[in-house]
Chains A and B, each alone.
Chain A
Amino acid sequence: MTYVLVWRALFTKVFQKSPRELLFLAIMALGQACMVIVQMIVLENFLDHVNNTDSGFSHFFLLLFAAIIANRFLNGFFNYSVNMFIKKIQKTTEVIFIEKMLRIPLESFYDVDFEVRKSQAKQGAKTAPLFLMISLMIVFFNIPFFILFSIYLARQYPLLLVCTLIAILSGIFAEVKNRKQFGILEDSIAVSRREAEYYLSCIADKEYFKETRLFNGFGYFRRKYKESASQFAVQSYKTEKKAFFNTIISQGAKMLAYILILLLLLYSLANHFISLGVFGAIITALTNLFTLIDDTVHRDIGNLSHFYANIKSYVEFIDSETEEQKSDIDLPQEIEFRNISYTYPHENRAALDGLSLCVKKGQTLAIVGENGSGKTTFSKIILGLINPREGKIFANGHEIKLNAGRVSGLSAAFQDYQRYELMLRENVCISDVSKNIVDQTVHKILDRFGIFCDDRKTFARGLETVLSRSFDGTDISNGQWQRIALARAQYRESSVIVLDEPTSAIDPLEESALYTQFAQMCENKTGIMITHRLGLARVADRIAVFDKGRVTEIGSHNELMTLHGKYFDMYTKQSALYLRCEF
């Protein structure tokens, strides 16, 4: 994508959502450009008037005074209000980013390249408003100003225009070169920046700090952080140095142009090519112009090129193709999977390898198998979070397209369920935001899973208790979190419910109660449960044994036991833990 295309794409995206903010910026900028020229013409007339007559005070003086005040006022107002507009536009660009994120297929998140692009795009969403503002200023202030000024110069003395153009172009030339450098830099440092951020979080984040301290890992992470950060700094320094040389050359050219213009002006004045008024107006405007060139070229275009790489990532990210998530079938009665295969990005080994399985409504199915046999991957396929590379899926007997979110009306509790630092109520209801929240329902569901929100010892504010100490709430135990995750899955309106290792952190008393509840939970639904607890698997109508991405055994507990296969082996080993030492 070229520079112009990127700009146009960004502009149209933002204009659709915040047209007023952009229009305001453009009009204000154009107004200021005109004001500067008006001030110049008034100054010329004033000086000529003073030069030609003896009285210093006239309506020209008042006019000049008014022009200067108006100019300053406009300028001040603009600078004051621009921050507010930038904030508003930032909200727009970030919302666009978030909306896009929701449409990204889950499998992208397993890809390192995607992570890099995502973090650049996120940075782009932050800088986009400034980028837009600056480019609008250039289009509606700087360019009109240069054009108007050029017309003025050309009418007085064309050679002056030539010198001015040299000054402007030399600056732009250096910046275009610098832009390329920073583009390359941004691509090359993205990885080391992410590393540096990660090492910092290993020292300071809640997730890591316990173990970092326990293992005396602080020194290691500090060293790694320094390595990444200095790599980052070295690369930046190299680029800055190159950019610095480009800048010196362009500054030199501009300086020469400036001296030339001054000489020309003096020469013209001495030979009466121009009046004193014109001389004065041009000299004053020149100071403005050169400050402006400096600002435009070194600050504005500099900023633009600095931001450009991220903005480009942002636009590409927003425009990248994602399939519309439209579900074909709501609340399916039966789902059949035929020859499903799946391999994670950048992995060689297939997680699922020609797997076939059928799940029917009202039935419970337990999935068991060794670590890495593809159980969790399959749950993601069922839920439409990832798409199989090969195979067919049928819902209610109809073949359905293999795209994300192909079936709705499914619910799940994952092994690595999310702990939202939100209120207890929100932590349950987040699974189905389309429902009207009725506290009684939430209460009932939580009660069922052994979370008693009236227990003020744990939940000081009942359903309103925020489940995080960092938001002035309480930290709850893993077991309690797990039960909330189950309540969350239950709350969602669904015909299929998938539970991935639902009781790993729950104590034996609770666990036993939950096993009995499991049947209730799956009443009139398809219940799919992934578990290592074979005692729990026994409760299911059918048990599927996964091995290397395929179903190797399927049937009821008794059927599988008579097979004397993998299931028999696993069950015997686990039950031996309970049955061997009798007293």
Chain B
Amino acid sequence: MSWDFTDLLDGVVRSAEYVEDYKRYMGLPEKEVKSETVGHIDTSASGSLEIKNLTFTYAGNAQPTLRNINMKIESGKKYALVGTNGSGKSTLMKLILGLYDDYDGEIFIDGRNINEFSQMEINSGITAVFQDFAHFALPFRDLINLGKEIPSSDAEIIKAAGDLALTGLIERMEFDLGRSLGKLLKDGTDLSGGEWQRVSILNAVMRQSKIVILDEPTSALDPILESSIYRDFAQACKDRTLLSISHRLGSISDADEIFVLADGEIAEQGTHQELMHKQGLYYRMYSLQKKWYENKLA
């Protein structure tokens, strides 16, 4: 009897605690979701982006991470964003993707303020490859078609995978795109770091978004792939707007425009040639990196 009673009492007290936690969780502030439907692609979208007087401070930080950013990105052109570690590159990318709301200033996609977009609309208008991209242990086909209204066919996926030097992986999977990536499931195929990176790039390519952002996409790629991946990617995204974030200055030097971020501000902008003539931060970074490939090591 005493067993039942103490047991019950114990149970009630303990569950009451969990109920509190649950209540607190359910009471967390929510982001307004404007539309629950799967975002569809606005075919009239051109893929231009404009940022005006953007300032952003992380909650709990005293100093703003980004200060007074102004950027104009025209549709179909290729842009690069470079800068030192901690200069705010990744934060800027997250703001453009609509992951944070509480910023000062304005961001426009195709001339419309992103406040007016639903998250779904932003998601289908812009796609991104993150530096710390997730290793989704899903069937290959499902990953590529994740959240897409019109799924890509296997033939399309295999062809695009070939363009990104993923033929080896497809062969290992015996051309069965229903097999899982990673080792979660028994039939899963393990991928190397470079393969994961190319799969995440492929995933971005296969999305029809007009704007594509690449955050440090070549860090795990070997020199042969690195030298061609930007070109292949630009080729695959011919009519799309491309914004690459990279520390490998050699591989982004042919961008239409390069933005140099320093301490949360745009310090320099222009083409490779213009920035080299300026002899500023970009020049210094580029020269340092280049030095390692010059005939005589200093």
Contacts and interface: CB of A to CB of B under 8 A. Distances in A.
Contacts of B219: 501, 504-505
B220 A504 contact: yes
B184 A195 contact: yes
A477 B273 CA distance: 29
Contact of A501 (B119, B131, B220, B223): B220
B51 interface: no
A434 interface: no
Interface stretch (A47-55, A74-82, A313-321): A74-82
A166 interface: no
Nearest to B169: A372
Interface stretch (B70-78, B81-89, B103-111): B81-89
Contacts of B131: 478, 505
A214 B123 contact: yes
Given A216-B39, A583-B276, A371 B222 contact: yes
A577 B253 contact: yes
Given A79-B2, A216-B39, A535-B293, A349 B183 contact: no
Given A216-B39, A477-B90, A457 B63 contact: yes
Contacts, number: 208
B226 to A, nearest CB: 7
A219 B38 contact: yes
Interface string B214-236: 00100111111111000000000
A79 B3 contact: yes
Interface stretch (B15-23, B42-50, B152-160, B190-198): B190-198
Given A347-B190, A583-B276, A370 B224 contact: yes
A479 B293 contact: no
B234 to A, nearest CB: 14
Contacts of B222: 368-371, 532, 570
B184 A371 contact: no
Interface string B24-68: 000000000000001100000000000000000000101100000
A220 B94 CA distance: 23
Interface residues of B, number: 82
Contact of A574 (B85, B97, B293): B293
Contacts of B90: 477-478
B12 interface: no
B85 A202 contact: no
A216 B147 contact: yes
A246 interface: no
Contacts of A577: 226-227, 248, 250-251, 253
Contacts of A110: 183, 190
Given A75-B3, A110-B190, A371-B222, A507 B85 contact: yes
A3 interface: no
B163 interface: no
B112 interface: no
A469 to B, nearest CB: 8
Interface string A215-254: 1111110000000000000000000000000000000000
B127 A214 contact: yes
Contacts of B250: 574, 577-578
Interface string A46-75: 000000000000000000000000001001
Interface in B177-226: 183-186, 188, 190, 192-195, 203, 207, 216, 219-226
B225 A371 contact: yes
Contact of B146 (A72, A191, A194, A217): A217
A77 to B, nearest CB: 9
Given A220-B147, A344-B190, A573 B224 contact: yes
Q: Which of A76, A370, A457, A569 has the most CB of B within 10 A?
A: A370
Given A207-B134, A371-B194, A510 B85 contact: yes
A303 to B, nearest CB: 13
Nearest to A476: B86
A371 B97 contact: no
Contacts of B185: 112, 191, 195
Contacts of B94: 210
B292 A571 contact: no
B85 A477 contact: yes
A533 B186 CA distance: 35
A532 to B, nearest CB: 5
B172 interface: yes
A211 B249 CA distance: 26
Contacts of A583: 272-273, 276-277
A194 B184 contact: yes
A524 interface: no
A421 interface: no
Contacts of B62: 457
A15 interface: no
B224 A570 contact: yes
A577 B289 CA distance: 11
Contacts of B60: 469
B85 A479 contact: yes
Interface string A96-122: 000000000000001011010000000
Nearest to B192: A372
Contacts of B276: 583
B268 interface: no
Interface string B90-126: 1000100101000000000000000000011001100
A1 interface: no
A208 B194 contact: no
B192 A371 contact: yes
A578 B290 contact: yes
A538 B220 contact: no
B221 to A, nearest CB: 7
A515 interface: yes
Contacts of B254: 581
Interface string B260-291: 00000000000011001100000011101111
B191 to A, nearest CB: 9
B289 A535 contact: yes
Contacts of B142: 220
Given A79-B6, A110-B190, A371-B222, A202 B288 contact: no
15 contacts: A210-B94, A210-B99, A213-B119, A215-B146, A216-B148, A371-B193, A478-B131, A504-B216, A510-B84, A511-B289, A539-B297, A569-B224, A570-B223, A571-B223, A573-B224
Given A214-B97, A371-B192, A509-B285, 17 more contacts: A112-B183, A195-B184, A198-B137, A202-B134, A211-B136, A371-B225, A372-B168, A478-B132, A501-B219, A505-B219, A506-B247, A508-B285, A508-B289, A511-B288, A515-B292, A532-B222, A571-B223
Interface of B: 2-3, 6-7, 10, 38-39, 60, 62-63, 83-87, 90, 94, 97, 99, 119-120, 123-124, 127-128, 130-134, 136-137, 142, 146-148, 168, 172, 183-186, 188, 190, 192-195, 203, 207, 216, 219-227, 247-251, 253-254, 272-273, 276-277, 284-286, 288-294, 297
6 A-B pairs closest in CB distance: A535-B292, A577-B250, A479-B85, A216-B147, A371-B194, A504-B219
